[in-house]
Amino acid sequence: VSEHLTIGQAAEAAGVTPRTLRYWEQLGLLPPSHRSSGGSRRYGPDDLARVERVRQLQELLGHDLQQIADVLHAEDRLSELRAAWFAGDDRETAEEIARRERLLGEAVAINDAVRAQVDARRRALDAFAAELEEKAERYRAEARRLRAARRRAAAPTAS
Amino acid sequence: VSEHLTIGQAAEAAGVTPRTLRYWEQLGLLPPSHRSSGGSRRYGPDDLARVERVRQLQELLGHDLQQIADVLHAEDRLSELRAAWFAGDDRETAEEIARRERLLGEAVAINDAVRAQVDARRRALDAFAAELEEKAERYRAEARRLRAARRRAAAPTAS
DNA sequence: TTGCTCCTCACGTCACGTGAGGTGGC
DNA sequence: TTGCTCCTCACGTCACGTGAGGTGGC
């Protein structure tokens, strides 16, 4: 009754296979936060959120796993820094502040780049949707012609 | 000065590699409409449009090449039918009309399915964009805190 | 004890990438 | 003739899929 899921449950919840989670772990992308006493992987809520992030970057933006690792790594360094912050380790020397600003700047740059890619994808999808709508309209016109032809064929006496 | 491009030109124009075009041809997805006397592939405007279709289905919707072949094949059968139509071969027997309606229905069903997938992707991208915007807002707040800390560090006499 | 899921190799697959060695057109 | 692109194998790669054979928890 824990919050931690087995690999099968986590895979099911995230829409991937156990093999995928093991492969991502092998690449250092997704080390499960716990193991059972017998050695089975256990995935917590944070792990599931990470799976979701990887899926978005991979499926929606077409990144390869190395690029995804770079994005997640930068975010990880920023959360480590935040953790140290909350732990009271916030001596505010000029050097420490500069270090934080540098890490934050990295994360902001990556976030902006990803947002730009999302916008580009949306524009591409909009253009694709417009093409498909045009095609659908041509199909509707063709269906009307066929229905008219069917009426003519059914009532040839009207010629 | 022809309208037909070499494989290198066609690949460049379409944003893929020559290897990709050869591979697609090997699967029967994209037979180039012409060959030079020496045996080189030549790609016309229709071929380029087809390359673009394959890219959209592959990159934007994540289809594999077998699914893409199915979509293109149905559309191909419909254009063959239209070609016969324009060629004057339009004897409008009830059987012929029924055949056309069946092929058109297939194409409409596929078009509707693809449009539904495009809409689903758009919703997923919108959700992703919203998450990224939230994250950007948190980053901005953090940047403000850091700037304030920098001022305190620069003017410690004000304590 | 019986299933079911878990584990680690390890080979297979899909969609190409990348030379290897040779031919063709300005 | 010299580059450059083209050609056909054919092996390599990335992100897994898919058994093979064995262990662990309700």
* Number of other residues whose CB lies within 10 A of the CB of residue B65: 15
Q: How far is the CA of A41 from the C1' of C22 (A)?
A: 54
Query: Among partner residues A56, A97, A118, which is closest to B149 by beta-carbon distance?
Result: A97
Residue-wise pLDDT for A125-154, tens only, equals 999 999 999 999 999 999 999 999 889 888
Cβ–Cβ gap B136/A112 under 8 Å? yes
Q: Confidence band (pLDDT; 50, 70, 90) for B159?
A: very low
Question: Which of chain B's residues 29-48 bind strand D, using a 7 Å CB cutoff?
Answer: 39-41
Cβ–Cβ gap B115/A125 under 8 Å? no
Query: Among partner residues B60, B133, B143, which is closest to A124 by beta-carbon distance?
Result: B60
Cβ–Cβ gap A128/B118 under 8 Å? yes
- Across chain B, mean pLDDT equals 92
Q: Confidence band (pLDDT; 50, 70, 90) for B157?
A: low
Q: A42's torsion region: left (phi>0), alpha (psi -120 to 50) or beta? A: beta
* Number of other residues whose CB lies within 10 A of the CB of residue A30: 23
Q: How far is the CA of A148 from the C1' of D25 (A)?
A: 69
Residues 6+ apart with CB under 8 A from B84: B90
Contact (Cβ atoms closer than 8 angstroms) between residue B63 and residue B57: yes
Residue-wise pLDDT for B17-76, tens only, equals 999 999 999 999 999 999 999 999 999 999 999 999 999 999 999 999 999 999 999 999
Q: Which residue is closest to B133 within chain A, CA to CA?
A: A115
Contact (Cβ atoms closer than 8 angstroms) between residue A33 and residue A44: yes
Closest Cα in chain B, distance from residue A38 (Å): 37
